[in-house]
Chain A
Amino acid sequence: MNYKLLILFAILLILGACEIEKPSLPIWDVDLKVPLINEHYYVSGLVDSMHLVVDDNNLLYLTTQGEAETQTLPPVEVQPNISANDLPVLSNIDMVQAIPFDDSQDNAALTYGEIASGEIKIQVANVHPDAGDWILELRILSITDPQGIPLQLSYTEPTPWQTIDLSSHHIGVLDSEETIDNLDVEITSSSALPDGSPLAEISLQSTTPITFHLFQGRLNHYEAHTGTSTSNIDIEYPLDLDEAITLHDAYIEIMVSNQIGFNCEFVGWFEATRGDMVVTIPIVDDNGNNFRVDASTVDNPALLTFSNRLSELMQIMPDHIEIVGGKFVIDSSSGYGSLRDTDIISAQYSVLAPFRFTLHDKPITINSPTKISISKENRQRISQNVLEAALSLQVLNTIPIGATAYAYFADHDSINVQDPTTYSFVKQMSLDSAQTNPDWQELESLSLNQAELDIFSAPDVYLKWVFHFEESTGLVEVHAGPDDFIWLKGQILAKLRVEDI
């Protein structure tokens, strides 16, 4: 049997003689294409109805709002300068005296007033010694209490100058447009003297101003100044955009809510500042006249559209605009009206700057670098497995702005784009404007070689962007309609090393 075993052994030897390598995974490289993005970025997406808005023609506007409001109104004063002295009072005779009531400053013509402060002095003197028990009653018919009862005073003995506080009294008839020229004073008396005999002498004086909670009438000149705390507009241009564009048009819409029952004239100036530069222009209409605001338009605010010379204001790309010297003036042309001391005039105003501008080749540097944190696991993968990486991007740009973007990479955040020693490498991509290239554009591939990929072995990688706009030859107008977009599509191309993935 030995030879049979020998044959069997020979067969096994045939197989057993074969060398079989221990299995091990070799290393190889593969190319991956991964779709990155396919998105329309509509300009209308920027519209936030707050700072960026569109008009009916889809023109994009930069807008910012401010408010102005009158300070606490100064009281309307009437200084009547009443001086009626030694008026004779006849015993048992009723009589009515008209005492002149004129504003000695000739500023106000009162038709009705609710008195905030004021006084009148009254003196009763030279009473006849034979008058016996006597009484003298005085009723000022033009001055009433809130219930409409005329101011009434009684005297039974001589009285030196007595001051009567008129506050919370009313003068005249509400909503009457008839100017109060006189105070009607009714005097009645009773004494033991024969009828018609002189009983006493009465004097009335008022030399201090009378102020009103509510004034109705006419004013020759009255000013209500706007405050300063709420009337400022601070403009923050994103990404230092103001360095790279010059806006050509702007106007301001002022919505005025007037509680004063007088037609007013608005007087003021817009003052725009940018650093040391200051531009001041008067707030006037297209004819150079001050705006006038109708009386009592609380429920129907007046809209003032102001554009004259405002482009001059915007040329400096101001970062601060405020109304200076703002005031509402009531004058003789305002006519009859009413004014309550709690009334205010408020103005909400919006600066509207259409995106119609000139572009300059001025770099816009994003000051804060973008921090990209990379996990340890991904750092290892990038270090070991990624040999090359690139972005293949195509862009369809329908907006009239082109730009070149520069991306500066470093493993620290102290990137100075002027100093190559502060960053590892820089990549750039250029996008033509719609006028320059209306078709699909192949962006230059943002590729990273092995040496550049090494930076991603750091836990944090910093990316700083700098943009250069394509300088425009004329005005650029940006719309935000359905056809205004940047369509970006592309994919990541990577060469990976298959090794312990």
Chain B
Amino acid sequence: MKKLLFLLCLCLGLSSLLAMPSAKSIFYADSYMLRAYGVEANYWNPAKLSKDRPLDVWLPLVNSAIYASNNALDLDTYNYFASRDTLHSADKIKLLDLIDGRLRVRSGGSISVFGITTGNAALSASTKHYLKGALSEKYLNILLYGNTDDSYEFVKSNTNVSALAYTDFTYGLGDFTLPFIPEPAPQVKAGFSVSLLTGLYSIDTQEYSGYITNNPDEGMNALQEIKLRQGMGGIGFKGMLGVYSELLPGLQAGLTVDNIAGFINWRLKSQEDSYTFSVDSLYVSNIGQDFYLQESESYDIDPFTTTMPAELRLAAMYKHKYATVSADWVHGFKDTATNSATGVLSLAASFQPIKNVDLSWGVSLPNSHNPLKVSYGVNFKDRFIDFGLALQSYDSAFPGYKSKGVSLGLSMGMGF
């Protein structure tokens, strides 16, 4: 287990991970909208809160997920570099090729607080935190090769950090049949959920710029400026609308819009921190004790609002007797700590090899902003209890030496 934990710590962050409303989505690589039920449906598609479902209860902590990944290093690569006594030129090239412009890291987690459903209504709470950051490849280039170039420029898109943590209290109602749909057209079920958000903390990079120039005419000049905005103790809201329909026997399709009017307004504490480091026309011949200027300043600012851009999700699922396949397409409208503006397609399959045991497999297809994610899960379910464990690998079909990150999902619910 130590190695497992170490692996989690090692792979700090991930290149991109869309919103992770619950632990169970890890089982299916986020192709989960039409699979969710009970309390899970409160976050994935409230339309699926069904009067026909038994009472479903979330226990504290046991529906949790954690993830960490990066865009460059897999375990194999880590082992390679950790075992090297000396880094040669080929090693440096290899490492920088892997970085691809910037080292991106992401981590986060979701922890259940409580949840309960009664008929087509659900009330739940969970805590979520997200952290993502990027560090320009140029820093690593300097670290590995030295300052061989005359100038280096750093921009915010390649070097930044942001974090967000909040607890939601979500109430959802579903299983509404949309009127005016003539028979025999498939009926459409609808639902909605509203979330009261209590912000725990927020950090985002407002400004970042930097350069290092180095030549005999002007000496060494360097500037690193970063301005971070922080908030603590916020209050906010978000809404979700969802519909689905069984188009054919066993075939369902659905649509959700999440983060409707989503925001958190940070009121308890809001401040900006600016940090500046500069070196002006430095030459060894005139170097002194104060050859650099280092300034940091923190000041309170007016309360500010973190918006949570809306996110559209389309899904389809076909269920056979012992197997289910699904596909989800999710598209955010803005890149934030919680969302990605690049659409992602996820596919999942599950089957029941033996009674009460579901095995799941999912894949989130890669694109320019998101890595390949492949999930494996096992879930035990009987009349009263639903327990599962899932593991997700980044940029590798199988969890192992080629993974650049992992997600772990632990799911446990009780039904009555």
Contacts and interface: CB of A to CB of B under 8 A. Distances in A.
User: Is A bound to B?
Assistant: yes
Interface string A4-46: 1001100110111111111110111011111111110000000
Nearest to A36: B284
A431 interface: no
B227 to A, nearest CB: 29
Interface stretch (A70-78, A164-172, A316-324, A489-497): A489-497
A280 interface: no
Contact of A33 (B88, B214, B354): B214
Nearest to B10: A20
A12 B4 contact: yes
Nearest to A22: B82
Contacts of B357: 3-4, 7
A20 B75 contact: yes
Contacts of B81: 26
A39 to B, nearest CB: 7
A305 interface: no
A81 interface: no
A28 B282 contact: no
Given A15-B406, A26-B87, A27-B85, A35 B216 contact: yes
A37 B285 contact: yes
A26 B83 CA distance: 8
Interface string B128-148: 000000000000000111111
A372 to B, nearest CB: 15
Contact of B216 (A7, A32, A490): A490
Contacts of B6: 20
A15 B4 contact: yes
B208 interface: no
A394 interface: yes
B208 to A, nearest CB: 25
B391 A14 contact: yes
B154 interface: no
B144 A30 contact: yes
B389 A38 contact: no
A370 to B, nearest CB: 16
Contacts of A34: 214, 220, 284
B390 to A, nearest CB: 8
B78 A30 contact: no
B92 interface: yes
Contact of B283 (A4, A8, A31, A38): A38
A20 B401 CA distance: 9
Contact of B146 (A12, A31, A35): A31
Nearest to B6: A20
Nearest to A494: B146
Contact of B7 (A20, A32, A489): A20
B181 interface: no
A15 B2 CA distance: 10
A490 B284 CA distance: 10
B278 to A, nearest CB: 16
A492 B147 CA distance: 12
A18 B216 contact: no
Interface string B366-378: 0000000000101
Interface string B387-406: 00101000000111100001
Contacts of B354: 3
B248 interface: no
B7 to A, nearest CB: 6
Given A12-B1, A27-B87, A38 B78 contact: no
A31 B85 contact: no
B183 interface: no
B294 interface: no
A25 to B, nearest CB: 9
B82 A14 contact: no
A402 to B, nearest CB: 21
Interface in A449-501: 489-492, 496
A381 to B, nearest CB: 15
B216 A38 contact: yes
Given A16-B4, A26-B86, A492 B284 contact: yes
Nearest to B142: A30
Given A21-B83, A31-B146, A36 B3 contact: no
B216 A491 contact: yes
A33 B86 contact: no
Interface string A387-424: 00000101000000000000000000000000000000
B305 interface: no
Contacts of A17: 400
Interface of A: 3-4, 7-8, 11-12, 14-24, 26-28, 30-39, 392, 394, 489-492, 496
Given A3-B357, A28-B86, 5 more contacts: A15-B3, A18-B3, A23-B82, A26-B86, A35-B220
Closest 4 CB pairs of A and B: A30-B146, A28-B87, A21-B82, A31-B146
Interface of B: 1, 3-4, 6-7, 10, 75, 78-79, 81-88, 91-92, 143-148, 214-220, 282-285, 354, 357, 376, 378, 380, 389, 391, 398-401, 406
12 contacts: A3-B354, A3-B357, A11-B376, A16-B4, A18-B3, A20-B6, A20-B78, A21-B83, A28-B92, A31-B145, A32-B147, A34-B220
